Chain A
Amino acid sequence: MPTLDLSGRNYRDVPYEQKERLFEEVKADMRFDDYLHGCYDCGICVAACPSARFYDFSPRKIAQTVSREDVDLFYLFLNDSVWDCSQCFSCDVCPRKNSPGGLITLMREVAVKNGLASAQEALEGYGRVVYKIMATGTQVSPDMLQDNAFPDWGPHVKDISKNLETWRRALPPETLHTTETSWQVDDKTITELYLIWHMTGVMDMIKEVDEGLFMILQDVMEERLEEAGYDDISFD
């Protein structure tokens, strides 16, 4: 069946059975029943959604599609719309207590775990961010504000990154006059974070979408874990 590509992005169509398998994988998640009850098609989630103001994106359509078990449309959104969500959960205002944002979390996880090309493409620009958070445990540092890292943030990112030092110093609190770090994370916390990434399958997901990033993280993490006495941990 030919699918409708609303975004201009291209992705591979697959047999219906494969779409159904991905759909069932989303439904099998233990969080699913808390995230979706039934949909009124009322649009309150869209009205509350910041992304919907900028993109052709509708959390309602996602909730509705999954609720109706429309497997073809689900696959379309799985490859496209789910990446337009900023995961702010403003959509949790739902009168039926649905969480379209939560549903999108599940869909993204399934897209990543299954190594969908669209997921790889959507996450392409975020390698440095993921590296930073996973390896150092700190948030995005100002020096990462470069246009190639955030292609969807618009052309002004380029201007800001050019004179970053000056921009940062213009901010009133002295604590923000930094460009490289956000805060120091202690060794014990870092070790625990690595163990969490390992045990919850986050590293497996990274491996599916970005093999190169996975290998870099693997080196960093295995080494530190070994130093901390966890020499039996392997990310392979």
Chain B
Amino acid sequence: MPEAVNPERNPENPILIIGGGPAGLEAAKGIAELGYKAVIVEKANVLGGTPILSSYAALTPDFRSAEDAMGEMIAAVQRPEVDIHLGSQVTAVSGQAGAFDLTVTSAVDGPTQVQAGAAIIATGFQHFDPGRETQQYGYYEHDDVITLVDLERMLKAEQVVRPSNGEPPKRLCFIQCVGSRDRQIGNEYCSKVCCGVAAKESIEVRKLLPDCKVFIFYIDMRMYGYWENEIYWPSQEKYKVNYVKGIATEIVKKGDHLIVRGEDTTMGRPMEVPMDIVVLSVGMEPSEGTKQMAAMFGAEVNKYKFIETVGGALNTVQTSVEGVLACGAATGPADIEDSISSASAAAMKAIAVVRKTAMGVS
């Protein structure tokens, strides 16, 4: 027999969502659709998260315009149940599951007090900075060494050119696993999306510049599920992208070109190949927001500073703090599909917290 609703508790307490990227937007939409209230706190002045802030062109694997897809998600949260604080951060937290008291500080309007029954941390990731730990690939040294993110911006502008001279490249390569799967750097994990993104970008480059030869130097190509036949195979079979198993050891400048040195492992021979543009397939690291919010809520993080989920395979969104859920890339590398799925799970569990509190059950 359920206990009676405790009138001391406020059943109207909204659910706080920190982060307005794909995960945060999906969580807010789910909560609103079920008739509950959500408060989104987003540090940037726009919604959409990294796909918008980093000017993604097309999403992996379906090539849908990032702006279009995020636009649809943003439109879905424009409803009375969702209160949106842009240019704002959570600066203080007290209370517990069912009744958190928060200070939300706007860069323009100053602090506001917000009450929430549960919190969802959807603060995402940041791209690995290839110049931070090591200058191995000369990202800050050679103009024509760029990252997946830089290329994404060029693809969005539909103008892929060598930064050094503004000319379209005739030979372009990707180097996979930059900042991932690397004990030297400390990021031992796989960032999950870079293989798919590189394959997707390789197709886009070949479409835009049919005369440009494209190579992908890899350790393993991790094209799980349908990414295999949707992007990997077409890039190789239809768009003739060359996949070479072997990671470059260094990039040197020679005249007008970059020389990529590595081993062509399956052919069993060393290689030194000239390139016009080298794209570093940078992985994911926890964003500043993820690290800050974990500290503020006292949620445990793993050794890489992503938020730890405590339910193993059976609960992918519960943090070490009751009433605090995490989703998307705040808990580790995730693509948009993963983020959307975990956001829905987090929304459902956050609603359960609010309902249980309102009904006075545990």
Contact = CB atoms under 8 A, between A and B. Distances in A.
A134 to B, nearest CB: 37
B237 interface: yes
A38 B267 contact: no
Contacts of A60: 266
B242 A68 contact: yes
Nearest to A36: B237
13 contacts: A38-B236, A38-B237, A38-B243, A41-B243, A60-B266, A61-B266, A61-B267, A67-B236, A68-B242, A68-B244, A69-B240, A69-B242, A96-B233
A39 B243 CA distance: 9
B171 interface: no
B101 to A, nearest CB: 56
Nearest to A41: B266
B34 to A, nearest CB: 44
Nearest to B268: A61
Contacts of A38: 233, 236-237, 243
Given A41-B245, A69-B240, A64 B266 contact: yes
Interface string A84-103: 00000000000010000000
B269 to A, nearest CB: 9
Interface string B217-243: 000000000000000010011001011
Interface of B: 233, 236-237, 240, 242-245, 266-267
Contacts of B233: 37-38, 96
A96 B242 CA distance: 16
Most chain B C-beta atoms within 10 Å of own C-beta, residue among A38, A39, A61: A38
Interface in A193-232: none
A55 to B, nearest CB: 16
A64 B267 contact: yes
Interface string A49-62: 00000000000110
Most chain A C-beta atoms within 10 Å of own C-beta, residue among B233, B244, B267: B267
Given A37-B236, A37-B237, A73-B267, 16 more contacts: A37-B233, A38-B236, A38-B243, A41-B243, A41-B245, A43-B266, A61-B266, A61-B267, A64-B266, A64-B267, A67-B236, A68-B242, A68-B244, A69-B240, A69-B242, A96-B233
B243 to A, nearest CB: 8
A236 B242 CA distance: 44
Nearest to A37: B237
A143 B100 CA distance: 96
A60 B267 CA distance: 9
B235 to A, nearest CB: 8
A201 B325 CA distance: 72
Interface in A27-80: 37-39, 41, 43, 60-61, 64, 67-69, 73
Contacts of A96: 233
A87 B126 CA distance: 52
Contacts of A67: 236
Nearest to A64: B266
For the complex of A and B, 7 pairs with smallest distance between CB atoms: A38-B236, A41-B266, A38-B237, A68-B242, A37-B237, A41-B245, A38-B233
Most chain B C-beta atoms within 10 Å of own C-beta, residue among A41, A67, A68, A69: A68
Contacts of B240: 69
Contacts of A68: 242, 244
A37 B235 CA distance: 11
B224 to A, nearest CB: 15
A233 B230 CA distance: 52
A35 to B, nearest CB: 12
Contacts of B267: 61, 64, 73
A61 B266 CA distance: 8
Contacts of A37: 233, 236-237
A64 B242 CA distance: 10
B230 to A, nearest CB: 14
Contacts of A39: 236
A64 B233 CA distance: 14
Nearest to A69: B240
A61 B264 CA distance: 12
Nearest to B232: A38
Contacts of A64: 266-267
Contacts of B236: 37-39, 67
Contacts of A69: 240, 242
A57 to B, nearest CB: 14
Nearest to A33: B237
Contacts of B244: 68
Nearest to A65: B267
A20 B25 CA distance: 53
A41 B245 CA distance: 8
A218 B266 CA distance: 46
B271 to A, nearest CB: 11
Nearest to B238: A38
A20 B259 CA distance: 24
A216 B267 CA distance: 43
